[in-house]
Amino acid sequence: MAETKSVIGTQNKKGQIYTDTWKMMNEAPRTPSFYTGSEVIKEALRRASCDVMIAYPITPQSEAAALIGELFAEGYIGDYFRGESEFAVMSQCAGAAFGGARVFTTTAGPGTMRAMENFPMWAGARLPIQMIVTCRGINSPLSIQPDTLEIAYLLNTGMLVWHAETAQDFFDWILKGYIVSEEPDVHLPLALCCDGFFVTHTKDVVNLTPADMCLPPYDPYRSPVPCMDMECPPVRMMRDPFVMKSNYISYATHASWQQEIWAAIERSRKHSIHWLNGLIDTENTDAEIMIVASGTAVSQGREAIRLLEDEGVRCGLVKVKALRPWPEEEIREATKNAKHIFVPEFNVTGWLAKEIKATIPNHARVHAGPHVCGGMTMPPEIIVSEIKTALGMKSFSLAGRGS
Amino acid sequence: MSKERIQISEDLYDIMPSDYQDLVKNATYGKEDRGWKDIGTSKELIEQHSLCAGCPESMAFRYILASLPNPEDTVMVGSTGCTSLVFPMVAVHNIHSLFGNQNAIASGLKRALSVRFPDRVKDVVVLAGDGATVDIGLDMTLQAWFRQEKFTTICFDNELYANTGGQESGLMQKGFVAKMAPVGKLFDKVRLPEIARESGCHYVVNCTVSKPSLVEKVIRNAVHIAREIGPTYLQLYTPCILEIGKNSMEGLQEMRDSEKPAERFAYKEYVSEPAKQLLAELAAKDKERKAAAKQLAGQASA
């Protein structure tokens, strides 16, 4: 094997300097910039030393996917093309990752669902692909509006799943995500989710790292499984293909491999905590009323807390950043004083509330709601109303709620 | 093009599996004119197989692996089916991921290898059954060709779903009675070789694997053309003797019967103009190399 030499401090072909990621993310000067979420994805990718990006149009990620094409044209990405469907794109991403590339893709809603067969395969093959999921409705009749139901389906694929609230989260987590994903003891794909439109199509001030600094390149030989590039030819891949054996050894092999994927998610915990500064953020955890949320529901929750404060109701907040690894201990600790836990969500089934109920003692404290879905917005007033109603306080009826 | 990358450290030699020792001592990595004739005298890149006794697919596997022009830098992509039972025993990196996505995997793989090794040849070869190539994976098969992805697609055509027990497939002959075709298949065998030509393949061959020398020729051509010009497609008849009611000894005869002039696997070939030119150049180089070798041999004996 070739001797590994640090590339930190050297330049890539675009003149960017490969920079120690911790320094780049935490110490380098930041420039405030007014960008849409899609533009922020592009700016993160400019600094990500990405080898292959594969694109497919689906609202609301099409703009980001096309902007990364511009980066390719400028020479920042090794290769870029439009695949024929999300199923094919996710397989193309797998092929590129099997070949030792750092891979990026974006998808949304029905695209996530169409590609679904690939995700457990990515995890099982230990491919540290990063996929941006700009969540949108997956229901019929057709909807292109924000709705986070698709995240529920990603939670058991063996991927890491993070849920960004803002464009700033997005910028930082795309870059940090590669570092966590590519750790040899993790080496799993990351679904980096956000609420479509709310994050992708709104402008926000985002503090960007210097454009002349970029991540160190991916080293495929730090992978816990062989890179399929014939640089280290096998005598044969394995003695018997396990698929054809109906015996205990075969079952045990598959079982232990599944357990290993989930153990790798567990091992990602320490890296995720380090890079995300904890799996959750908290405010006022001594309050008896807590809002626990992820994605833009956090922003709405924060606003609801301000409105409640005006009425003298004290309320705390938990922002769940990582869904896999799941911050079990952290949520238990942050909600231990709470008598009422509200979980506002942009989906009909309330998957986050179910996860929380399965995590904390005395789960009758959890009020699964309010829920909006199908593209509806979540005015902070409906969170306030939900909380006041549950507490037996008088609440003004909201239009359309039939109360 | 050598065995450099598979050398074993002297200190570890005796504890390495004998398969690996054989591979280092006696395989054909780096041999420029490797081919089917090495079978029986050299270590093959296929260790064993778990196919049925007499399965023509096992013959095809051995001929193909013996004929790859650059196995030490070739990555193969398979799909679910009987082939996926063989691939784990093969001494080149090979990827099995899902059923039908082989040409999508190969597209990403080939591009990644081109980005990572811009100055070296890394061949990608897809090998999948007819269900994977023509039915569930047809979209990705064709789209890779439309995009002119530079890899070879080989379809082992056994005219049915063999691994799942003999169900109707798109490449099955019309009228054939099979599982899921209880009154006989109602539509014609899909004409994928013609579709391949129209879809941008530069080299298309439809044949059986009855003749190892022919398999060697078409594999070498397909890999060289894919490397330099664009997509290539080989459709090889590897009958499922089990599902068509033949005995172990009858696979070869079944292929010979099916390649007669009026039959569906009569040799058919399409070569694009740029591919013709490339083959002519390769043939000229080969001739030169052989002449030089002959001259050298002459000098040595003189």
Which carries the bigger pLDDT value, residue A4 or residue B49?
A: B49
Average pLDDT (B37-41) is 94
Average the pLDDT over B189-208 and give the result. Answer: 98
Least Cα separation, residue A384 to chain B (angstroms) = 47
Question: Residue B88: pLDDT band by 50, 70, 90 thresholds?
Answer: confident
Checking if the pLDDT of A1 tops 50, the result is no
Distance (Å) of CA A209 to CA A44, B121, B176: 9, 37, 65
At position A241, the amino acid (one-letter code) is P
Identify the residue with better confidence: A254 or B258. Answer: B258
B-chain CB neighbours of A240 within 8 Å are 50, 88
- Residue type for position A249: I
Say yes or no: domain B34-271 is CATH 3.40.47.10.
Answer: no
What integer pLDDT is reported at residue A240 of this predicted model? 65
Mean pLDDT, range A65-69, rounded to an integer? 97
- Chain A residues touching residue B143 (CB < 8 angstroms): 83-84, 88
Q: Using CB atoms, pick whichever of B75, B84, B111 lies closest to residue A229.
A: B75
Predicted pLDDT at A399: 57
Question: Mutating which of B105, B136, B150, B164 best tests the A interface, going by the most A Cβ atoms within 10 A?
Answer: B105
Mean pLDDT across chain B: 94
CA count, 13 A, side-chain hemisphere, A22: 4
Residue B294, sorted as left (phi over 0), alpha (psi -120 to 50) or beta, turns out to be alpha
B116 CB-near residues (< 8 Å, 6+ apart):
A51, A99, A100, A101, A229
Residue A9: pLDDT band with limits 50, 70, 90: very high
Hey, where are the domains in chain A?
17-222, 281-390
Residue B37, CA distances (Å) to B34, B44, B251 in order? 8, 11, 21
| Pairwise CB contact (< 8 Å): A238 & B88 | yes
**A213 has which bridge partners?**
A17
Higher pLDDT, B300 or A272: A272
Run of H or E including A319: strand A315-320
Nearest to B101 among A52, A78, A91 (CB): A91
Task: Quote the CA–CA distance of B270 and B233 in Å, as a whole number.
Answer: 10
A48 token code pair: 């990500």
Instruction: Name chain B contacts of A125, Cβ cutoff 8 Å.
Output: 97
- Indicate yes or no: CB of B106 within 8 angstroms of CB of A98: no
Cβ contact A79–B94 (<8 Å): no
Shortest Cα distance, chain B CAs vs residue A233, angstroms: 6
Find out if CATH 3.30.70.260 is the number for domain A281-390: no
Q: String of b and e for A334-353 (b: at least 16 CB within 10 Å)?
A: bbeebebbbbbbbbeebbbb
pLDDT single digits (tens) A145-167: 999 999 999 999 999 999 999 99
CA distance B97 to B79: 7
Task: Say whether residue A96 is in contact with chain B using an 8 A CB cutoff.
Answer: yes
Asked if B108's CB is within 8 angstroms of A235's CB, the reply is: no
* Mean pLDDT within B141-160: 98
Tens digit of pLDDT for each residue in A305-359?
A: 999 999 999 999 999 999 999 999 999 999 999 999 999 999 999 999 999 999 9
Q: Is A106 helix (H, G, I), strand (E, B) or coil?
A: strand
CB neighbours (10 Å) of residue A146? Answer: 31
Q: What percent of chain A has pLDDT over 70?
A: 95
pLDDT surpasses 70 at A397: no
From the CA of B142, how many Å to the nearest CA of chain A? 10
pLDDT digits (tens, 9 = 90+) for A166-191: 999 999 999 999 999 999 999 999 99
Two tokens, residue A273: 């905590």
pLDDT tens-digit series, residues A15-57: 999 999 999 999 999 999 999 999 999 999 999 999 999 999 9
Indicate whether A245 pLDDT > 70.
no
Pick from B95, B112, B122: CB nearest A101? B112
Whether the per-residue pLDDT at B25 is higher than 50: the answer is yes
Mean pLDDT score, A287-302? 97
Contact across the interface for A92 and B108, Cβ inside 8 Å: yes
Q: Where are the domains of chain B?
A: 34-271, 276-302
Q: What's the pLDDT tens digit per position in A248-267?
A: 888 888 899 999 999 999 99
> Are the C-beta atoms of residues B43 and B24 closer than 8 Å to each other?
no
- For residue B103, pLDDT beyond 50: yes
Taking the mean position of all CA atoms in its chain, how far away is CA A308? 30
Total residue length of chain B: 302
> Token pair of B299, please?
């000098």
Question: Chain B contact for A94, CB < 8 A?
Answer: yes
Helix (H, G, I), strand (E, B) or coil at A71: helix
Instruction: Inspect the interface and report whether the beta carbons of A236 and B91 lie closer than 8 Å.
Output: yes
CB atoms within 10 A of CB A363: 13
Q: Which positions in chain B touch A239 (Cβ < 8 Å)?
A: 88-89
d(Cα B172, Cα B149) in Å, to the nearest integer?
27
What would the two tokens of residue B103 be? 């040409």
Return the pLDDT at B1. Answer: 47
Cross-chain residue pair B111–A81, CB shorter than 8 Å:
yes
Question: How confident is the model over B188-215, as a mean pLDDT?
Answer: 98
pLDDT value at residue A238: 67
Any idea which architecture A17-222 has in CATH? 3-Layer(aba) Sandwich (3.40)
pLDDT value at A391 more than 70: yes
Which is more confidently placed, A29 or A140? A29
For every residue of chain B, DSSP letters joined together read: --SGGGPPPGGGGGGS-HHHHHHHHHB-TT-TT--GGGBTTBB-SB----SPTT-HHHHHHHHHHHH-S-GGGEEEE--SSTHHHHGGGBSS-EE--SSS-HHHHHHHHHHHHHHH-TTS--EEEEEEEHIIIIIITHHHHHHHHHTT-SSEEEEEE-SSBTTTTSB--TTSPTT--BBTBTT---SPPP-HHHHHHHTT-SEEEEEESS-HHHHHHHHHHHHHHHHHT--EEEEEE---TTTTT--GGGHHHHHHHHTSTTSTTS-EEEE-HHHHHHHHHHHHHHHHHHHHHHHHHHHHH-
- Measure CB to CB from residue A235 to each of B20, B114, B117 and give the nearest one: B20
What distance separates the 2 farthest-apart alpha carbons in chain B?
A: 72
Looking at residue A250, its pLDDT comes to: 81
- In a mutational test of the A interface, the residue from B86, B107, B138, B151 whose CB has the highest number of chain A CBs within 10 Å is B107
Residue in chain B nearest A236 by alpha carbon: B91
Contact between B74 and A244 using a beta-carbon 8 Å cutoff: no
pLDDT, residue B247, reads: 94
Whether A57 and A69 have beta carbons less than 8 Å apart is answered as no
pLDDT interval class at A239 (50, 70, 90): low
Measure the CA–CA gap between A39 and A167, rounded to whole angstroms: 9
Asked if residues A123 and A157 have their Cβ atoms less than 8 Å apart, the reply is yes
Q: How close does chain A come to B46, measured CA to CA in Å?
A: 8
pLDDT at B37 over 70: yes
The model's pTM: 0.95
Contact call for B108 and A97, based on CB within 8 A: yes
Selecting from B73, B85, B140 the residue whose C-beta is nearest the C-beta of A230 gives: B73
